[in-house]
Amino acid sequence: MRGFFKKILGGGEVDCDEVLRLSSDYLEEELPAAKQSAIQFHLSKCGPCKAFVETLASTIGLLSRLPRITAPPGLKQSLIDQTRGDKGSSPS
């Protein structure tokens, strides 16, 4: 049913699946302007997708190129803490 609506809308709207699929192209700004803004619009109303794209952006180090997406100061540290926690949580 969602595919049916997608056809009617003619690519002006994107759904979660498409956002996830296109997220790296979106971050690289390799999509047509209409698609970029369609994804931007989706992110503005879809928390999970926004969180995914922001995490992906920080992971591939593109945050500095994306003024619209700002990394919370604690994000990097918390990722580092998580990584360390996974590897060395044995009390000594």
The beta-carbon contacts of 37-46 under 8 Å, at least 24 apart in sequence, are 38/11, 38/12, 38/13, 38/14, 39/14, 40/68, 41/13, 42/13, 42/14, 42/15, 42/16, 43/19, 46/16, 46/19
CB of 13 to Zn ion, least distance (A): 11
**Given 31, 46, 69, 75, the residue binding Zn ion (CB under 5 A):** 46
Stretch that binds Zn ion, among 9-17, 28-36, 59-67, 84-92 (CB under 5 A): 9-17
Q: Does 49 bind Zn ion (CB under 5 A)?
A: yes
**Residue 9 or 80 having the CB closest to Zn ion:** 9
Give the binding site for Zn ion (CB under 5 A). Answer: 16, 46, 49
